[in-house]
C-alpha cells in the first residue's frame, strides 16, 4: 500500500545530501501555552467576566512556517514557542501545515529538524499542508513515526482501498473539556506539490469530510469541535466555504493563505483563525465554557515583540544551536563567485518573474540545458525562490534559489505539445507555473482564447516551429516537478523520458562555475504582445506606491495566489466607514479611511467587490498578483 520505491528514493536523496544531519528525535517534556506573561491578565478578561465555575481552554496555533524555526528579526524561535506553551494553563499547541519544508534548515535533512523541534515545543496535532508532501508520502509517513504528536486529515485516503492515510480526528481532554479535532488537507495538493509524491492518494472534498467528522465527534459527545485545516481564504477559499457549509464547527484553525487574522474572522457562528506565515505570529484561540456549554470564543495573535516577554527554554535553544551549527557547516561552503546580482523572488521582483523573462530565469533554463545536453528547457517560475547576489556564492545560496528536491529530467517533446505547454504556462500571469525558458523564444497574447495564446516559437537556430507539428522531436530539459504534472503541466507526464540528472542545486552550482554570469540579461526570449486594454497587462508601479499611506498602519495586505487576491483589511470600529472606489486612470481600487488616508491596490481588471463580515473587510481583486506577487 505504501510506495516502497518512493521511500527508497527519498532515503537515497537524504543520504546523498545530508546523511550526517539526521539526528535522533529526542523526547522533550510537553507543556501547555499562550500569550506573553505581561498580557496574560488582560487576555483573560473573558474568563474574569465568566460565571463562577467556568473553564477556559486555549488553542495555540502556527501555520505556514516553511522552515522558520530559528529566532530572527521577524520569526519567533521555537525555544520561545515552547516557552509560550509552557506559560499557559489548559492549552494545546497545534500546527496547520506547510511547516516541515522550506528553508534549508529543514530541507537538508528532509524535515527531521522540524519534527524534532515540534516534539520539543510540545505540539499535539498537525495537519499536513501541500508543501509538506514535497518529500513524498512515504517520507512523510516515516516522519510521522518520529513525531510525538498526531498527524490528522479526514479527507485524505488511499486510492487502493479507501482507508485513511492518517487519523481522521483526535479527541483531547483539557481540564475536563472534551475537544474534538479533525484535519482537512488542501484538495488541490496534487497540482501544487510534486504529483509523484502523492501517487495513490485521494484528496477528498473538505466540506463532505467536515460533515462526516462533525457527526462522528457529536456522537462522541465532545464539548468543542475544531477543524485543523490547511485550506486558506484565497483561491477557492475553502476555509470560508467549509465554515459556511458546516456551521456546527466551533473553530477552524486554518493555514495556506498566509492570512494574518488579528482577531479571527467570523463566518456566521464559526470562528476562523490563522496566524499569518513564516513564524511571525503564534495564534491563540481562547474558549470559555460553563456547565459544558461554550459561552465565548476569542482569537488573538502573539507577535515577535510580545514573545520577548517569555524566557526561551534553554534545552530547546541548545538543540537549535546544535542544528544551526550542523546546517551552517554544510551550507557555508563557498562554491563560486558572481560579479552581478540576478534578482529572483521577493515582493518587488516576483511580479516580473511570474509574468515575463528575467535573467535568473534564463540562468535556470540554460543550466538545465547544459546539464541534460538538451536543445531547450522550461522551468516553472514558482521553483525560483530567491536572488543570486553578487559576491561569493555558497551552497546556502543554491538552496535559497531553489528550496525543493527537484532534479533535471530530459524528455522528447514535439512542437504541438510545446505550444500547448506554454499556452497553459502563460494563462494566469502572477502564477508560479509561468515558464522561464532556454534554447528558444516565444511570443504570447493573453487576449486570445485558450490554445491560441502562443503566437510563435522560434528555436535559437532560427527555426520557426509549427503548432500542428506532431512529428519533429526536440530534446527538452524540464524539472522533475513539472515532468510529473506539477503546476498543471499534465501534458508533459507521458512524454518519453531520455534521461534523469542532478538535483537543481547541484546543477546550478556547476553551471555557475562554467558560465559567464554577466551574460544573463533580458534578451527577448519571452515577448508579451497582449493589448493593454485586454485586462492582462498591469501598469508598472514602484514599491513605494505599494506602501500604505501614513495613518494606514492598520491595513494589512495578505496573500495573493493564482491570479486572485485576498487583501484582508482590519479597521478599528471608528474607521468602518471607509470608502472604496475604482480609479479608472490608475486602474486601481482606492480604499479611503475615515481619516482621509488612501491606499491604492493596482489591478488588471475592474472586477472587484467588497464583502464585509463582522470585523473583517475582504477586497477580492483579480490579477492583483501580477503586481504584488503570489
185-203 per-position pLDDT tens digit: 999 888 777 777 899 999 9
Give the burial class of 303: count Cβ atoms within 10 A of its Cβ; 0-12 exposed, 13-18 middle, 19 or more buried: middle
Average pLDDT of 244-248?
A: 97
Q: What is the DSSP letter of 453?
A: -
Q: Where are the domains of the chain?
A: 4-16+47-326, 333-528, 543-628
What's the pLDDT tens digit per position in 83-98? 999 999 999 999 999 9
Nearest to 173 by CA among 296, 293, 90, 273: 90
Per-chain mean pLDDT for the chain: 79
| Among the ranges given (36-40, 177-181, 495-499), the one the predictor scored with the smallest mean pLDDT | 36-40
pLDDT at 114 over 70: yes
8 Å CB contact between 266 and 252: no
Nearest Cα neighbor of 363 from 344, 391, 345 is: 344
Predicted TM-score (pTM) of the model is 0.64
Residue with the bigger pLDDT between 369 and 577: it is 369
Worst-scoring range by mean pLDDT, 113-122, 159-168, 343-352, 357-366? 343-352
Q: What is the pLDDT of residue 627?
A: 26
CA pair distance 283, 288, nearest whole angstrom: 17
Q: In the numeric block, which cell numbers belong to residue 482?
A: 513539472
pLDDT confidence bin for 49, thresholds 50/70/90: low
590, β-bridge pairs: 581, 600
Residue 583: which pLDDT band, with cuts at 50, 70 and 90? low
Task: Report the half-sphere exposure of 547 (CA within 13 A, side-chain side).
Answer: 6
Instruction: Give the cell for residue 145.
Output: 513515526
- 4-16+47-326 and 333-528 have identical folds: no
**Where residue 622 falls among pLDDT bands split at 50, 70, 90?**
very low
Q: Would you state the cell numbers that stand for residue 49, as one nine-digit string?
A: 467576566
Counting residues of the chain whose pLDDT is more than 90, the rounded percentage is 58
User: What is the pLDDT confidence band of residue 580, given thresholds at 50, 70 and 90?
Assistant: low
pLDDT bracket for residue 565 (50, 70, 90): very low
Whether residue 158 has pLDDT greater than 70: yes
248-284 pLDDT, tens digit each: 999 999 999 889 999 999 999 999 999 999 899 999 9
As a whole number of angstroms, the distance between CA 475 and CA 240 comes to 45
As a whole number of angstroms, the distance between CA 491 and CA 285 comes to 44
Three-class DSSP category at 266: strand
The CATH homologous superfamily for domain 333-528 is: 5'-Nucleotidase, C-terminal domain (3.90.780.10)
The bridge status of strand 454-459 relative to strand 334-338 is unpaired
Listed in sequence order, the DSSP H helices in 180-290 are: 189-192, 206-219, 238-245
CATH code: domain 4-16+47-326 is 3.60.21.10
- Say if CB 69 and CB 279 are below 8 A apart: yes
Reply yes or no on whether the pLDDT at 339 is more than 90. Answer: yes
pLDDT in tens, 539-563: 332 223 333 333 323 333 322 222 2
Amino acid at each position: 500500500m505504501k510506495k516502497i520505491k518512493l521511500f527508497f528514493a527519498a532515503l537515497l536523496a537524504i543520504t546523498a545530501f545530508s546523511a550526517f544531519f539526521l539526528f535522533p528525535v529526542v523526547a522533550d517534556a510537553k507543556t501547555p501555552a499562550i500569550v506573553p506573561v505581561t498580557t496574560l491578565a488582560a487576555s483573560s478578561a473573558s474568563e474574569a467576566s465568566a460565571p463562577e465555575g467556568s473553564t477556559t481552554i486555549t488553542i495555540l496555533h502556527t501555520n505556514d512556517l516553511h522552515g522558520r524555526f530559528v529566532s530572527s528579526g521577524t520569526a519567533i524561535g521555537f525555544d520561545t514557542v515552547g516557552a509560550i506553551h509552557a506559560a499557559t494553563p489548559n492549552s494545546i499547541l497545534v500546527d496547520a501545515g506547510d511547516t516541515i519544508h522550506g528553508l534549508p534548515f529543514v530541507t537538508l535533512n528532509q524535515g527531521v529538524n522540524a519534527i524534532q523541534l515540534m516534539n520539543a515545543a510540545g505540539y499535539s496535532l498537525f495537519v499536513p499542508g501541500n508543501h509538506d508532501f514535497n518529500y513524498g508520502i512515504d517520507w512523510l509517513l516515516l516522519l510521522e513515526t518520529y513525531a510525538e504528536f498526531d498527524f490528522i486529515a479526514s479527507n485524505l485516503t488511499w486510492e487502493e482501498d479507501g482507508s485513511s492515510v492518517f487519523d481522521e480526528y483526535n479527541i483531547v481532554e483539557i481540564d475536563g473539556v472534551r475537544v474534538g479535532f479533525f484535519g482537512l488537507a488542501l484538495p488541490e495538493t496534487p497540482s501544487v506539490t510534486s504529483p509523484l509524491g502523492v501517487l495513490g492518494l485521494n484528496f477528498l472534498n473538505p466540506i463532505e469530510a467536515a460533515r462526516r467528522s462533525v457527526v462522528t465527534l457529536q456522537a462522541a459527545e465532545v464539548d468543542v469541535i475544531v477543524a485543523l485545516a490547511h485550506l486558506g481564504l484565497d483561491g477557492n477559499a475553502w476555509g470560508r466555504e467549509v465554515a459556511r457549509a458546516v456551521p456546527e464547527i466551533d473553530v477552524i484553525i486554518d493555514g495556506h493563505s498566509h492570512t494574518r487574522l488579528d482577531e479571527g474572522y467570523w463566518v456566521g457562528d464559526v470562528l476562523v483563525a490563522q496566524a499569518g506565515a513564516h513564524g511571525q505570529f503564534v495564534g491563540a484561540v481562547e474558549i470559555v465554557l460553563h456547565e459544558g456549554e461554550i459561552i465565548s470564543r476569542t482569537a488573538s495573535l502573539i507577535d515577535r515583540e510580545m514573545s520577548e516577554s517569555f524566557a526561551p527554554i534553554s534545552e530547546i535553544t541548545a538543540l537549535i544551536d546544535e542544528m544551526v551549527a550542523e546546517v551552517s557547516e554544510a551550507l557555508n561552503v563557498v562554491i563560486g563567485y558572481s560579479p552581478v546580482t540576478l534578482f529572483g523572488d521577493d515582493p518587488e521582483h516576483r511580479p516580473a518573474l511570474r509574468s515575463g523573462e528575467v535573467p535568473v530565469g534564463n540562468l535556470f533554463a540554460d543550466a538545465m540545458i547544459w546539464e541534460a545536453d538538451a536543445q531547450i528547457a522550461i522551468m516553472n517560475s514558482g521553483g525560483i525562490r530567491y536572488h543570486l547576489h553578487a559576491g561569493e556564492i555558497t551552497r546556502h545560496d543554491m538552496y535559497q534559489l531553489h528550496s525543493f528536491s527537484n532534479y533535471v529530467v530530459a524528455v522528447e517533446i514535439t512542437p504541438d505539445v510545446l505550444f500547448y505547454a506554454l499556452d497553459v504556462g502563460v494563462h494566469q500571469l502572477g502564477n508560479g507555473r509561468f515558464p522561464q525558458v532556454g534554447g528558444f523564444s516565444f511570443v504570447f497574447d493573453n487576449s486570445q482564447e485558450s490554445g491560441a495564446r502562443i503566437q510563435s516559437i522560434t528555436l535559437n537556430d532560427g527555426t520557426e516551429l509549427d503548432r500542428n507539428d506532431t512529428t519533429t522531436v526536440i530534446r527538452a530539459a524540464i524539472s522533475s516537478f513539472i515532468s510529473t504534472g506539477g503546476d498543471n503541466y499534465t501534458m508533459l507526464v507521458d512524454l518519453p523520458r531520455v534521461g534523469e540528472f542532478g538535483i537543481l542545486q547541484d546543477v546550478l552550482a556547476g553551471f555557475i562555475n562554467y558560465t559567464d554570469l554577466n551574460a544573463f540579461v533580458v534578451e527577448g526570449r519571452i515577448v508579451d504582445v497582449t493589448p493593454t486594454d485586454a485586462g492582462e497587462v498591469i501598469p508598472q508601479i514602484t514599491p513605494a506606491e505599494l506602501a500604505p499611506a501614513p495613518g494606514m498602519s492598520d491595513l494589512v495586505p495578505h496573500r495573493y495566489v493564482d491570479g486572485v487576491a485576498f487583501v484582508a483589511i482590519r479597521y478599528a470600529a471608528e474607521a468602518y466607514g471607509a470608502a472604496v472606489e475604482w480609479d479608472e486612470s490608475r486602474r486601481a481600487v482606492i480604499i479611503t479611511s475615515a481619516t482621509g488616508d488612501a491606499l491604492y491596490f493596482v489591478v488588471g481588471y475592474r472586477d472587484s467587490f467588497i464583502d464585509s463580515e463582522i470585523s473583517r473587510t475582504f477586497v477580492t481583486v483579480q490579477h492583483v498578483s501580477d503586481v504584488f506577487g503570489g
